[in-house]
Amino acid sequence: MTRLRALLALAVLAGAACGPAGLASTGPSEPPLPSGFTRSADHLLGFEIGLAPGWKVSAYDSQGSVDYGGPGDLEMVVHFEEATSTQLDAAAAPVIAELTGGTGLTGGRLTAGTLAGHPAEHAMGQVSAGGQQEEIEAYVTIDGGRAWEVAMAGPVEPATAASGTFGRMVSTFRLVGAQPSPPPRASVGLPAPGFPALQRATGPVVVNFFATWCADCRGDMPEIAKAAARSGGRFTLLGVDCCDDQPSSVAGFLRQLGVWDAFRNVTYDSDGRIARTYGLLGPPTTAFLDRNHVLRQLVVGPVTAASLAEGLHDAGVS
């Protein structure tokens, strides 16, 4: 799985695929599907989609995503989140940024489309993921304050060849059943989304998202580690290894940087859930939380001496 796919938000329980996100037979009130397609229905998340031959549910996240695997190492995700705007182009922009890790699409093409009967932004282009190029095609629409996306990603040649099939699957997508609320997202001034290591921490917390392949993290993490040492325990430093990293390589990476002692408390965000709830565009990203774990600052990119001092001050670390 590429780091692009980690940012696509994929799932906590692959075994749950046979539950709410499993395949459902066509009922009398359901519209017909193209020949050979099967229906994937998740009425708890509020959608149905027809799957072409060779596609199947691979992972499920009850907080807003279902992941599908297809032939040729292709992957499709159906996902919803809170719309950042009532204007389609403005709401689609951050969704597409998440798909690309904030880099944007090389040779990107943006056209008008349709998703679930609503006007949609249709984006196509390429992104560098894990040292190789991948093709992304996505449809984004707004419904009831939610931004819905149906996106396909994979190696360029198979993804390009599958574009027509993907379009036919998109044409079967419809909103049905529940109208769930979008999952919580990190927002300055509100309690930060929780995860086990954060829930165990007391007092102010600094959460640093990193990856072993991230060049900027090599300068960023030592500065944060020095601040932690200077603080004398006045805040807890939590590292979150993200973006389709390899957990087995993390210990050596931390030792190489000389930050092993500071970053002993590392969470491996293997399914991208934490990254998604913090709206991560890519590492490094650093969140500063006060003693009540309210988010006070979010620094995207490497910290500077000034942003690090400001973030700690706002978190109540004197």
pLDDT of residue 53: 97
Q: Identify whether 119 is preceded by a cis peptide bond (ω within 30 of 0).
A: no
What share of the chain has pLDDT > 70, as a percent?
Answer: 85
pLDDT of residue 272: 77
Mean predicted lDDT score pLDDT of the chain: 83
pLDDT of residue 9: 34
Of residues 27 and 127, more confidently modeled: 127
Question: What would the mean pLDDT of 86-101 be, rounded to a whole number?
Answer: 80
pLDDT of residue 7: 40
The band of 120, judged by pLDDT with boundaries at 50, 70 and 90, is: very high
Of residues 201 and 318, more confidently modeled: 201
pLDDT of residue 13: 23
pLDDT of residue 209: 94
What are the structural domain ranges in the chain?
3-175, 196-314
Of residues 265 and 115, more confidently modeled: 115
Of residues 185 and 145, more confidently modeled: 145
pLDDT digit string (tens) for 181-230? 776 667 788 888 888 888 888 899 999 999 888 888 999 999 999 999 99
Q: Which fold has domain 196-314?
A: Glutaredoxin (3.40.30)
pLDDT digit string (tens) for 233-278? 899 999 999 876 777 889 899 999 999 988 988 888 877 778 878 8
CA dihedral over 103, 108, 111, 115, signed as positive or negative: negative
Task: Judge: domain 3-175, CATH 1.10.3720.10.
Answer: no
Question: What would the mean pLDDT of 118-128 be, rounded to a whole number?
Answer: 92
- pLDDT at position 22 over 50: no
The band of 6, judged by pLDDT with boundaries at 50, 70 and 90, is: very low
What share of the chain has pLDDT > 90, as a percent?
Answer: 43
The band of 20, judged by pLDDT with boundaries at 50, 70 and 90, is: very low
pLDDT digit string (tens) for 43-77? 778 899 999 999 999 877 655 678 899 998 999 99
- pLDDT at position 133 over 60: yes
pLDDT of residue 129: 61
Of residues 293 and 102, more confidently modeled: 293
pLDDT of residue 270: 77
Q: Is 35 exposed, middle or buried (0-12, 13-18, 19+ CB in 10 A)?
A: exposed
